[in-house]
Amino acid sequence: MSVPDLPGMATLLRATSRRVAALIAIVILGGFAAAALVRYSPGFDTIPEDLDPAISPQVLAALHAKYRDDNPLPVFYVHYLAGTLKGGFGVSTSLNQPVADLLKRRAPVTARLVAFGALAGILMAALLAWIAVWFRRAGLEATASSAAGLLLAVPPAVLGLAFFFSNAPLAIAVALALFPRLYGTLRAVLSDAYVSGPLLAARARGVHPANLAVRYVLLPVMPQLAALAGVALVLAFGSAIPIEVVCGIPGIGALALQAALGRDMPLLCALALIITFVVTAVHAAGEALS
């Protein structure tokens, strides 16, 4: 009967605890930074009474002072976090709806766009990188590199508009925005595997090309590919936001724009907490896998 490696388990638990603590700290700081940007942005202290010419300057100054006293950032954020821990994100001040309900309706739209866009972008970049490395044709490599450079110069919002007016799937626009940001990394990873010693030795022994590709290229680079998949999800989310905004897609991106324009602190804080958590968790998972 094997004895469990207690020192190894303790080290793993300590490392996991540090990662979880770092994740929580980053999420809390990300939400606070978003709240601070909104609270101290120009125009936040504007109140409806500013448009009423019948109100005297003295009364208006008193109303502004009360508004500032009612909205101190540290107090607001502590109360907001306390409410969040109880399962609620508050009520949107600009849309007058529970933030949780807004997120439940909008999040699936963005999740589908990001998931399909990231998957298509990874497959596209991996296929062209594989062709460029494996077949060693200068024309194919030049074509793939030129396409990546061209797409890198096109903003995601422009790609989204082109696909929107063509009635084409917007996930392909996300994939095309993602492709040039993944192609170079994938090509470098596959190039290193292609010239590795084990692969050269297996090729000299006459191993079948399919076995070479699986055993000596794909399997050794799986940790890097898993980490790159996490990065691709984050990049796909960043590309999906402007596409949603310009195409009028009712997702998280459009909701974030509405919240920013309306200086909606409860909604913006909720979005900042969720987005920071997702991005940090994806990066942490990618580092753990690699």
Whether 169 is covered by a domain: the verdict is yes
Residue 20 exposed, middle or buried by CB count within 10 Å (0-12, 13-18, 19+): exposed
Whether 218 is covered by a domain: the verdict is yes
Whether 97 is covered by a domain: the verdict is yes
Mean pLDDT of 209-220: 78
User: Using one digit for the tens of pLDDT, what is the confidence trace for 244-276?
Assistant: 888 888 888 888 888 877 778 888 888 888 888
State residue 44's pLDDT score. Answer: 65
Mean pLDDT of 100-108: 88
Query: CA–CA separation, 290 vs 283, rounded Å?
Result: 11
Domain total in the chain: 1
What distances in angstroms separate CA 261 from CA 42, 43, 174, 257, one per listed residue?
12, 11, 25, 6
Q: In 3-state terms, what secondary structure has residue 89?
A: coil
Q: Are 116 and 171 a contacting pair, CB within 8 Å?
A: yes
State residue 70's pLDDT score. Answer: 55
Average pLDDT, the chain: 80
User: Using one digit for the tens of pLDDT, what is the confidence trace for 51-86?
Assistant: 667 777 777 777 667 666 556 777 778 878 887 877
State residue 238's pLDDT score. Answer: 86
The pLDDT > 70 percentage for the chain reads 87
**DSSP 8-state secondary structure symbol assigned to residue 251:** S
Whether 83 is covered by a domain: the verdict is no
| The pair of three-digit structure tokens given for residue 164, joined into one six-digit string | 């929107």
Whether 187 is covered by a domain: the verdict is yes
At residue 30 the predicted structure's pLDDT band, cuts being 50, 70 and 90, is confident
| The pair of three-digit structure tokens given for residue 251, joined into one six-digit string | 């997702």
Query: CA–CA separation, 79 vs 254, rounded Å?
Result: 26
Give the structural domain span for 152. Answer: 6-44+88-289
State residue 1's pLDDT score. Answer: 46
Whether 103 is covered by a domain: the verdict is yes
Mean pLDDT of 22-47: 77
Residue 196: CATH number of its domain:
1.10.3720.10
Query: CA–CA separation, 180 vs 228, rounded Å?
Result: 13
Residue 23 exposed, middle or buried by CB count within 10 Å (0-12, 13-18, 19+): middle
Residue in the block written with tokens 């996991």: 16
Whether 258 is covered by a domain: the verdict is yes
